[in-house]
Amino acid sequence: MITAERKPLAEIKAMIAPYSKILLAGCGTCVAECASGGEKEVSLLASQLRMDARMEGREIEIKEITLDRQCVYEFIDQLTSLIDQYDVVLSLGCGAGVQAVAEVFQKVIVLPGLNTTFIGETKEAGIWFENCRACGDCKLGLFAAVCPITRCAKGLLNGPCGGSKGEHCEVDVDTPCAWQLIVTRLEERGRLDFLEQVHPPVDWSKSQGKGPRKILREDQKN
Amino acid sequence: MDREAARITIFFCQQVDSEQETNRRAIERELGDRIRFFPLPCSGRIDTLQLLRAIEAGADIVYLVTCSRGACRYREGNIRAWKRSAYARRLIEEIGLEGERLEVIQANERQTIDEITRSLLTRDIHVGPSPLRAK
């Protein structure tokens, strides 16, 4: 899941200041799960912006809509019949959603209401953890499904560093040491032999070394 | 502001008062549209958006009446209510409204909703009329 957090209201207000008719578009997938850009968050922000405008004596019109997925054309198309009636789209989608909407409606101003943060898991209600850097070369099979690139503050493939205290990271005492988890899990699974492997430096060309990545699947194309 | 003029919205847990239907109607008849009640099956049913909408609709003060700590029939509904109310306060403060406009009230055992309300109505109100109602 892609996680995000709502931008401070002052930043959002500054972005939308020149406009009075706003199409506030949420996304019902990842950012709804992390409670930053789903239907409910769209309504909360719309309510705040309406109240703020009334208190300042400004006219504002906000249309609320939440797309099932803001990064897929078939869902973005729901905006087609509405978009001409508004000055601007304020997106509560992740960065991919904002860019996808702007790509479809090239003459429309699309503004981000969220700061896209990381790929992560819902640990429990109200807590999200980063656990994937989308490096393009997944090695979780070697590390008992604990990503050392993401979850070790030092990104060590040949760990541990030896600095952990009480099974927690020396960089952040609230974070469990990824290598402690890796060793414990490998031991539980009878695969401590994995620790004998020496890993070469990561090939970052599979990450963002060559600019934005692209996946092409002929069988999926129209 | 003058407490006689304040427009008050009260969300409350129905478990607080089994006779709430009768008891709140008496006050509603007395105060008319100065007061609005929203019974909830449990205060944990409250949503941040409902609190915000009540403020947006022009309430000067919004109270959320919960069972006392440890007395929630559903164990932690009142704790969740408190957290959502705290978040709603942050949201209204972000637009420059006073957080005091939203308050959680823990009911004492054996207090009825009309008794609780009458006690709230005698309180001093330290905020002015809602700027959302005035404009």
The range of the structural domain enclosing residue A36 comes to 2-118
- B94 interface with A at CB cutoff 8 Å: yes
How far, in Å, CA of B52 to CA of B90, rounded?
A: 11
Probe site for chain A from B46, B48, B52 (most A CB atoms < 10 A): B52
Q: In this structure, is residue A164 part of a structural domain?
A: yes
Q: Are A43 and B92 an interchain contact pair (Cβ–Cβ within 8 Å)?
A: no
CA nearest to A58 within chain B? B135
Distance CA B26, CA A21 (A): 43
pLDDT (tens digit, 9 = 90+) per residue, B4-54?
789 999 999 999 998 999 999 999 999 999 999 999 999 999 999 999 999
Whether residues A10 and A95 fall in one domain? yes
Are residues B56 and A55, on separate chains, in Cβ contact within 8 Å?
no
Which residue matches tokens 């092409």? A216
Please check whether residues A114 and A137 belong to one and the same domain: no
pLDDT at B5: 84
Cβ partners under 8 Å of residue B86, min gap 6: none
Is the pLDDT assigned to residue B71 strictly greater than 90? no
- Tell me which chain B residues have a C-beta less than 8 angstroms from the C-beta of A48: 52, 91-92, 94-95
Say if the Cβ atoms of B132 and A40 lie within 8 Å. no
| Per-residue model confidence (pLDDT) at position B133 | 83
Asked whether residue A24 carries a pLDDT value surpassing 60, the answer given is yes
pTM: 0.94
Cα–Cα dist B24/B17, whole Å? 10
Chain A, nearest residue to B57 by Cα: A51
Q: Is the same domain home to A21 and A66?
A: yes
Indicate whether A16 and A112 sit together in one domain: yes
pLDDT in tens, A39-96: 999 999 999 999 999 999 999 999 999 999 999 999 999 999 999 999 999 999 999 9
**Does A18 fall in a domain?**
yes
List the domains of chain B with CATH numbers: 8-122 (3.40.50)
In a shared domain, residues A39 and A109 = yes
* Same domain? A68 vs A41: yes
Q: State the average pLDDT for chain A.
A: 96
pLDDT computed for residue B70 by the predictor: 86
Distance from CA of B23 to the nearest CA of A (A): 32
pLDDT at B135 over 60: no
CB contact under 8 A, A44 and B48: yes
**In terms of DSSP H, where are the helices of chain B?**
20-31, 48-56, 77-94, 113-121, 131-134
Q: What is the pLDDT of residues A119-159, one digit of tens each?
A: 999 999 999 999 999 999 999 999 999 999 999 999 999 99
CA dist B57 and A54 (Å) reads 12
Number of domains composing chain A: 2
User: Does residue B124 sit at the A interface (CB-CB below 8 Å)?
Assistant: no
Give the per-residue pLDDT at B134: 61
Same domain flag for A90 and A33: yes
Confidence of residue B3 (pLDDT cuts 50, 70, 90): confident
* A131-137 contacts, C-beta under 8 A, 24 or more apart: A133/A207, A134/A207, A135/A202, A135/A204, A135/A206, A135/A207, A136/A206, A136/A207, A136/A213, A137/A202, A137/A203, A137/A206, A137/A207
Q: For residue B117, which of B53, B28, B48 has the smallest C-alpha distance?
A: B28
Q: What is the CATH number of the domain that holds A95?
A: 3.40.50.2300
pLDDT of residue A50: 98
Q: What is the residue whose two structure tokens read 């401070």?
A: A8
Bridge partners (DSSP) listed for residue A114: A6
Rounded Cα gap, residues B87 and B103, in angstroms? 12
CB A52 within 8 A of CB A16: no
